Structure 1
Amino acid sequence: MLNEQTIATLNAMKLFGMAQAFQERLSSARQAELSHADFVGLLVQDEKAYRDNQRLKRLLRNAKLRQPAALEDIDYRQPRGLSKQAMLELGSTQWIEGHRTVLITGPSGIGKSYLACALGNFAARAGYTVLYLRAPRLFEALQQARGDGSHLKTLAKLARVQLLIIDDLLLTPLTDWERQDLLEIVEDRYQCGATVITSQCPIGDWHPNIGDPTLADAICDRLLHNAYKIELKGDSMRKNSAATPTPNHKKGGANIADDTNVS
């Protein structure tokens, strides 16, 4: 009865990791003749492991990644201009801590979104807040936010994310309000947050596709400064292998209007 009360008390105190491990640890402690200090120490480790695991689940859920990609699963066999050295550098957290930008360009189906999601997965597992958004959905959400008065709040929310992934930028030339929003996002994140952007449009064509020369200068200057540039080439990887549907993942990324916790 006392053990059940202890477990109930641990749960009431929201020490769920300790509560889950208590009975098992108690049995092993008796067998190993552990001291009270060692027994409590193991329970503390169990609680930390539980909290770390819960935080990781929350970070991955809030990231809304399009697919469960991983850096270690990247296919280098198909020649597409992907440097192992570049990906090795991105396999450390220095670029995130340095608030750098990663620009991934190339034709449709070459694996841009996969690389972006792999970087997002890596960042979340390293403990950073991540948010994946397709550019069309991003601009649509910001336009809706203008209408309901939450535009500034939405921009502030994007600025707080430690790694923001914008997929499929410049599928079409930007409208006036889209380039204004893009400038605000880029300005808020410049030297303050890491950003990954994918685009079918070559970087050399970004300026005319953004539109207004003054705004295009400001946007490109901030995006290109100290950025990693990955230019993929070759045939579509989707055409070379059958696509595998991924359940429980939203196509098109997150809806900013969702109550996504970025803390």
Structure 2
Amino acid sequence: MLHDLDHYDSGVQNGISQVQLRQLRQLLWLDQNYNLILIGPSGTGKSYLAGGLCHEALKLGYHALFRTMDELIQTIRFKDVTTAAAREYKRLVHAHLLVIDDIMMFPLEKSVAVGLFQLINQLHEQTSFIITTNKNPKEWAEMLGDEVLATALLDRLLYKCEVIKLTDKSYRLEHRTTIFEQQQPAEGGATRKKKLLSLQKVVVDHAEMT
């Protein structure tokens, strides 16, 4: 899910300033193997921002990949089973930038949690991650079902990392469309009275002329 950040709504006050956005788009953090963790409720622009930065990286020639957590889970599950999953896993480990969208939204089974750790551990300090999540890192242990594993995972992600907390109301809900036509506002009493007086005058004038 890639986006052009030139179209990013600068009027949205969601916890990231225009100065910070410009700095992120310069991708200096990517050259230094820094990670970004975007935390916030649904609809606050996490995926849009992550997809936009992935798009910026691709334009500059980086090998950048955007994957949802569901897609990543399937790859981890079947990388030793199917050729397609094995090829996909190989692409992941050679990425300069890997975006994982909606991580820790749901609890992970043990084998997937271990596989996720192994992937991140393998790419540690050679690949930059952008992680989007609506869960505070303190809640990750519950999603992984293993506090030790969660601590080890966060240790690698947070070692060189910028944590950005996005706030505000859901952009989707604020800008949702409707299937109903907008109704014309009802006329107030003063407007109706004025029209009635005008109509009466027309009737009187017509009567006098006849």
* Structure 2 counterpart of 1:235: 169
SS at match of 1:179: helix
* Structure 2 counterpart of 1:226: 160
- Can you list the C-alpha shifts for 1:2-31, whole angstroms capped at 9, x where unaligned? xxxxxxxxxxxxxxxxxxxxxxxxxxxxxx
The amino acid that maps onto 1:127 is G
CA distance in 1, matches of 2:30, 2:75: 25
The amino acid that maps onto 2:159 is H
| Cα distance change on mapping 1:86 and 1:135 into 2, 3 Å | same
- Can you list the C-alpha shifts for 1:84-135, whole angstroms capped at 9, x where unaligned? 3332221212211111111111111111110011000110111101111100
CA distance in 1, matches of 2:75, 2:92: 12
TM norm structure 2:
0.77
Matched, 1:123 2:57: yes
* Structure 1 counterpart of 2:67: 133
Q: Please report how far the alpha carbon of residue 149 of structure 1 lies from its aligned counterpart in structure 2 after TM superposition.
A: 7.0
Structure 2: where are the runs of 5+ without partners? 178-210
Matched, 1:96 2:96: no
TM norm structure 1:
0.62
* Structure 2 counterpart of 1:108: 42
| Cα distance change on mapping 1:154 and 1:124 into 2, 3 Å | closer
* Structure 1 counterpart of 2:150: 216
The answer (yes or no) to whether the contact 1:120–1:165 under 8 Å persists in 2 is yes
CA distance in 1, matches of 2:15, 2:27: 23
* Structure 1 counterpart of 2:129: 195
CA distance in 2, matches of 1:151, 1:180: 17
CA distance in 2, matches of 1:181, 1:86: 33
The answer (yes or no) to whether the contact 1:135–1:169 under 8 Å persists in 2 is yes
Cα root mean square deviation, aligned: 2.0
Alignment of 1:76-87 (within 5 A): 76-87=10-21
CA distance in 2, matches of 1:137, 1:151: 10
The amino acid that maps onto 1:80 is N
After TM superposition, the structure 1 stretch with the greater mean CA deviation from structure 2, 72-81 or 195-204, is 72-81
| Cα distance change on mapping 1:151 and 1:214 into 2, 3 Å | farther
CA distance in 2, matches of 1:203, 1:221: 11
| Cα distance change on mapping 1:151 and 1:140 into 2, 3 Å | closer
| Cα distance change on mapping 1:237 and 1:156 into 2, 3 Å | same
Structure 1: where are the runs of 5+ without partners? 1-65, 244-263
The answer (yes or no) to whether the contact 2:79–2:89 under 8 Å persists in 1 is no
How many residues are matched? 177
CA distance in 1, matches of 2:20, 2:116: 26
CA distance in 2, matches of 1:149, 1:129: 21
> Once the two structures are aligned, what percentage of the paired residues are identical?
27
- Can you list the C-alpha shifts for 1:185-227, whole angstroms capped at 9, x where unaligned? 2112211011111111122322332221221111010111121
